[in-house]
Structure 1
Amino acid sequence: MNRFFCLLLAFSTFAAAAQTSKSDYNKVLADSLGADEYGMKIYQFVILKTGTASIANKDSVSQIFKGHMENINKLVKENHLIVAGPFGKNDKQYRGLFIFKAKDKDQAEKLLLTDPAIKTGLLTYEIFDWYGSAALPMYLHYSDKITKTDF
């Protein structure tokens, strides 16, 4: 019985040590980013896919995708969109991704419907809840500092 008690005490000590707070934890920063105790939060992850619409006029398609890029920049400035980018060619018709700082899928969908490429059906989308680092939005500050030319 004494061995069992010693093992239980050792395990309890190890478990408690594994759950100690980090010394460089910044509660103010964590709270401002909406972080949980693990420094994480839920985002809305969107996969953009080729839509069903077909527009033959190349100038119209060009204008729509110009509006798509302008909308991306607007959503970033409004602090809704924190990651956006295209995929390379693939057999799934996946065109790109967005990661939104939206409270839920409904809010993400409202933001998506501001995009002219989605409105016209050139792009469609799937939305997923995604659990990632609450610090993810902080990279945008540095992104501006390394971007030489806007789209």
Structure 2
Amino acid sequence: MKSFFTFLILCFVAVGVQAQTNNSAYDKALADSLGADDYGMKQYILVILKTGPNTSTDKAQINKAFQGHMENIGKLVEQGKLIVAGPIGKNDKTYRGIFILNAKTKEEARAILATDPAVKAEFLDADLYDWYGSAALPMYLPIHNKLEKKKI
């Protein structure tokens, strides 16, 4: 009877080990460096930028806020906080663009957004959502740098 239980325990251990490492391409060091879970995924915050309550028509103020917005995007990318950014085409909502922030909580994301001059000036407002996506997402940025002829 004792050997039967030993056999069962060994079977469970073998199945558990196989379940943990069933991908021969798995790179633990890379997964750890990107904050990946067992599925190669991680938590981000999806931000939908929309038109804010500031209805000023002062072109100088608007230009300054949006120039600062673009500069801030570059800084956040360099800091590893902003993973994806881009405008949304004309729509029947007030949606203007999206960010995917490398943040674990909405509070952390709000602190990141507070650095954006267009958000501070209330030309942009933001809706935040928890988003679970590939931990490899930040790796496209160095490749993108090789694709753009013109810097924003």
The TM-score normalised by the length of structure 1 is 0.86
In the other structure, the counterpart of 1:10 is none
Distance in 2 (CA, whole Å) between partners of 1:58 and 1:87 is: 22
Identify the residue that residue 142 of structure 1 maps to in structure 2: 143
User: Which contiguous aligned blocks of 4+ residues in structure 1 show a shift greater than 6 angstroms?
Assistant: none
How many pairs were matched up? 136
Distance 2:56 2:69 in 1: 15
- Give ranges in structure 2 of 5+ residues lacking alignment: 1-14
Question: What is the root-mean-square deviation of aligned Cα atoms in Å?
Answer: 1.6
> Which whole-Å CA distance do the structure 2 matches of 1:41 and 1:78 have between them?
18
Corresponding residue for residue 127 of structure 1: 128
In structure 2, distance between residues paired with 1:95 and 1:110: 20
Structure 1: 5+ residue stretches without partners: 1-14
Output the CA distance in 2 between the equivalents of 1:84 and 1:137: 12
Taking only the aligned residue pairs, the percentage that are identical comes to 55
SS at match of 1:146: coil
TM-superposed CA distance for 1:72, in Å, is: 0.4
Could you tell me the TM-score, scaled by structure 2's length? 0.85
Aligned to 1:12: none
Question: Which residue identity does 1:108 align to in structure 2?
Answer: A
Higher mean C-alpha displacement, 37-46 vs 52-61: 52-61
Shift of 1:62: 1.2
Q: CA deviation at 1:103?
A: 2.4
Distance in 2 of aligned mates of 1:37 and 1:21: 11
Write the letter of the residue equivalent to 1:25.
Answer: Y
Query: In structure 2, what is the equivalent of residue 7 of structure 1?
Result: none
Distance 1:104 1:21 in 2: 31
1:50 pairs with 2:51: yes
**2:62 corresponds to which residue?**
61
Q: Distance in 1 between matches of 2:87 and 2:64?
A: 18
The separation in 1 between residues aligned to 2:68 and 2:38, in whole angstroms, is: 39
